[in-house]
Amino acid sequence: SKQQIGVVGMAVMGKNLALNIESRGYSVSIFNRSASRTEEAIAENPGKNLVPTYTIEEFVDSLETPRKIMLMVQAGAATDATIQSLLPHLDKGDILIDGGNTFFQDTIRRNEELANSGINFIGTGVSGGEEGALKGPAIMPGGQKEAYELVAPIFEQIAAKAEDGEPCVTYIGPNGAGHYVKMAHNGIEYGDMQLIAESYDLMSRLLGLSVDEMADIFKEWNEGELDSYLIEITADILTHKDDETGKPLVDVILDAAGNKGTGKWTSQSALDLGVPLPLITESVFARYISAMKEERVEASTKIKGLDVQPFEGDKKELVEKIREALYFSKIMSYAQGFAQLRIASEEYGWELNYGEIAKIFRAGCIIRAKFLQKITDAYANNPELKNLLLDEYFNEVTQKYQKSVREVVALAVQAGVPVPTFSSAIAYYDSYRSADLPANIIQAQRDYFGAHTYKRKDKEGIFHHDWYTK
């Protein structure tokens, strides 16, 4: 008999996803370019309804039609190679699903190319890491809607469930929409992580709190507005000790951040679309400057900040202000990220549903957080909302917390503690709420040196001034 679905790629993600699908009562064919991983998956999981296959022909032939094939291989050239090896064996109406971290433009291209051969192609974001893949990820599928309907029952079963029981998966939109939303999710993840890192830095360098004290503070924060996976794991991370030295593990981990490029893609797309995305972009740059460890160590011996007195105010009060600043800045980041989704949706014709997107982020994925419900509510109140800051709840809470961000950023700047995302958050807030910005000077300069022309505030038309004659 034939299997109901196939998974290609038996590295950690593919294997766990196959096990997740199998655990919901499906029979799953598995295939991997090198046989050893397939053998390993079978050996590790005796008694499961996983069917190993060792050639592409055998794999394709083992599946019910229309075939449902999920790819979990390295993004990029490996995904193209895998698709090319499958293609000659597929029939019209088969459904290929790419669950890798694929660049959305690749998905747009593959969707179009495969549609010409009558093959449905779904590009889907899968978030939650290896644990999520096994127990329930957030899933962001894009592609032919009719094809998605055929796999929707499986996806709804394997997806994470939110508190109200709803599965964290929804049809996102045509072609690259799902991978775009996954990319934006990862960008937002970069911002959230950097904001937490800056909060930690302020508590450590400005307030001199110990790692244990900070663990308790993050734990407490996780009970309130900031309730989220990343705050929760940060609290836990801070409790771990190094086996060798007995020191807090964070104190022996090298402060040079890596990245796999999804944050960079998010910022590049923002630049392409002309959307301001400063906070996430600062968080990408913060990783880059962190990676320049040697250069920073050398610079630290040559470039001095000011000598400042240690903080003498009420530490508890300042910790609460940092918490408010963090929540404020997180809201700025999501306001920017969701504004980018709106412009991308218009540009690519995706008709994204922002409230539904926030909803599927509520569980399973790395940015899962209680406050996402507020975003869902905001778009339920007004599906055309231009910016989250215009929503009543977000408007109120950011107005209330702005005082804390201003104070925290001022203190940090004086003390020489870098807060690129906190300061970017307040700058965005002040720019967005400014009826007048100094771009009149920019326009005058552009007209001055390049005759680029300008518009006037008081009348219609395009103007050029003869700057060279007084």
* Dihedral sign, Cα of residue 213, residue 218, residue 221, residue 223: negative
Cis amide linkage into residue 66, ω under 30° from 0: yes
Interaction of residue 291 with ligand NDP, rule CB under 6 A: no
What is the closest distance, in whole angstroms, from the C-beta atom of residue 129 to ligand NDP in the complex? 4
Min dist. Cβ of residue 169 to ligand NDP (A): 14
- Per the CB < 8 A criterion, the answer to whether 124 and 98 are in contact is yes
Among 7, 13, 181, 412, binds ligand NDP (CB under 6 A): 13
Cβ neighbors of 181 (< 8 A, separation 6 or more) are 125, 140, 142, 172, 341, 352, 357
Catalytic residue among 22, 189, 198, 324: 189
12 binds ligand NDP (CB under 6 A): yes
Q: For ligand NDP, which stretch binds (CB under 6 A), given 3-11, 89-97, 160-168, 315-323? A: 3-11
Does the annotation count 356 as an active-site position? no
- Report the sign of the C-alpha dihedral through residues 408, 411, 417, 420, in that order: positive
Nearer to ligand NDP, 14 or 337 (CB): 14
* Shortest distance, position 288 Cβ to ligand NDP, whole Å: 20
- Fill in the per-residue mask, 125 to 164: x = in contact with ligand NDP (CB under 6 A), - = not in contact: -x--xx----------------------------------
Closest to ligand NDP by CB, 8 or 215: 8
Nearest to 402 by CA among 380, 365, 427, 368: 427
State in angstroms the smallest separation of the CB of 49 from ligand NDP.
Answer: 20
> Distance of CA 230 to CAs 188, 191, 316, 338, 371, Å?
12, 11, 22, 19, 13
Catalytic residue among 182, 264, 321, 330: 182
Amino acid at 141: P
Nearer to ligand NDP, 12 or 87 (CB): 12
Check if 359 is active-site.
Answer: no
Tokens of 145: 């809607």
Ranked by CB distance to ligand NDP, the top (closest) residue is: 100
CA 187 to CA 441: how far, in whole Å? 32
- 10 scored as a contact of ligand NDP (CB under 6 A): yes
Tokens of 287: 């990783």
Task: Give 60 or 335: the residue with its C-beta nearer to ligand NDP.
Answer: 60
Q: Which stretch binds ligand NDP (CB under 6 A): 31-39, 190-198, 323-331, 336-344?
A: 31-39
Four-residue CA torsion sign, 205, 208, 211, 213: negative
Query: Which lies closer to ligand NDP via its Cβ, residue 100 or residue 176?
Result: 100
Residue 295 has, within 13 A of its CA and on its CB side, a CA count of 6
Indicate the residue among 23 and 239 with the shorter CB distance to ligand NDP: 23
C-beta closer to ligand NDP: residue 30 or 197 = 30
Binders of ligand NDP among residues 48 to 107 (CB under 6 A) are 72-75, 78, 81-82, 100-101
Q: Does 279 bind ligand NDP (CB under 6 A)?
A: no
Contact at 8 Å (CB) between 78 and 110?
Answer: no
Rounded Cα distance, 437 and 440, in Å: 7
Q: Where are the alpha helices (DSSP H) in 45-96?
A: 56-61, 77-86
Contact between 186 and ligand NDP per CB under 6 A:
no
| Active site positions, annotated | 182, 189
Binding site for ligand NDP (CB under 6 A): 9-14, 32-34, 37, 72-75, 78, 81-82, 100-101, 126, 129-130
